[in-house]
C-alpha cells in the first residue's frame, strides 16, 4: 500500500470516527429564464425515448459508449432545464 493510500484511508477513518458527513453535490438547476418551454421539454423527452429504444436493440461496444454518453447529456439537460 502506498503512503498516499494509507494517509487517505486514515483520514477517512478519522472522519467516520468523528461523525463527519460527506455530502455529494448535484448539478445546479438553471434559473427560470434559462429553462425550456413545455414544447422543448417534450422534444427532449422524445429524443430520450428514441435513444432508449436504440439501447434496447443490439449495438457494438463503440456505439454503446456513444449512446450512453448521449443519454447522460440528454438526462442532464432535462434535469437542468425542464
Q: Which domain holds residue 25?
A: 3-81
Domain count across the chain? 1
Cell representation of residue 53: 429504444
* Alpha helix segments (H runs only) across 1-82: 3-18, 38-56, 61-81
Confidence (pTM): 0.58
pLDDT score for 34: 73
**pLDDT in tens for each of the 82 residues of the chain?**
566 567 667 766 655 566 655 555 555 655 666 788 899 999 999 999 999 999 999 899 999 999 999 999 999 999 998 8
- Please give the distance of CA 34 from its chain centroid, rounded to a whole number: 20
Q: Determine the pLDDT at residue 30.
A: 58
Number of neighbouring beta carbons within 10 Å of residue 62 = 8
Q: What's the rounded Cα separation, in Å, for the pair 6 and 2?
A: 6
**d(C-alpha 66, C-alpha 24), whole Å:** 26
Amino acid at each position: 500500500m502506498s503512503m498516499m493510500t494509507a494517509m487517505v484511508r486514515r483520514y477517512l477513518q478519522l472522519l467516520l470516527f468523528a461523525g463527519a458527513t460527506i455530502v455529494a453535490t448535484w448539478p445546479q438547476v438553471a434559473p427560470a429564464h434559462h429553462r425550456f418551454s413545455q414544447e422543448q421539454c417534450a422534444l427532449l423527452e422524445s429524443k430520450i425515448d428514441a435513444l432508449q429504444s436504440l439501447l434496447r436493440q443490439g449495438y457494438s461496444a463503440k456505439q454503446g459508449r456513444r449512446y450512453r454518453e448521449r443519454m447522460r447529456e440528454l438526462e442532464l439537460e432535462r434535469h437542468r432545464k425542464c
